[in-house]
Amino acid sequence: MRITKEDVGRISVLAKLELTEDDQSLFAEELSGILRIIDALDEVDTGSANEMVSPAGLTNVLREDVALSSIDPEEALKNAPEREGAFFKVPRILEAD
């Protein structure tokens, strides 16, 4: 499979990752090379094989529902790029009507 520069542009929007025009061209070329290797997975007869998502083989990991102390809000806000009171502050989310 070949990835075009336009594909990379479209994916970068999905990934919320701004890429320069140069990066888009470079990644299209590099990822096409990587996909040529990955396409070899097609040759494998996977028939009825399971999809292995984790090697731990654990299911339904539960714990007691006990309240524990966690990070103090002031501590949690310390690394915030911007804050206001007890909140993380971000630029506008909704369009102004």
| Site of interaction with other proteins (CB under 8 A) | 3, 7-8, 11-20, 23, 27, 30-31, 33-34, 37-38, 40-42, 44, 46, 49-56, 58, 61, 63, 71-72, 75-76, 78-82, 88, 90-93
Minimum separation from the CB atom of position 83 to other proteins (A): 10
Between 67 and 79, CB nearer to other proteins: 79
For the record, the structure tokens of 66 come out as 């006990």
Minimum separation from the CB atom of position 64 to other proteins (A): 9
DSSP character string of 5-74: HHHHHHHHHHTT----HHHHHHHHHHHHHHHHHHGGGGGS--TT------TT---S------------HH
Minimum separation from the CB atom of position 55 to other proteins (A): 2
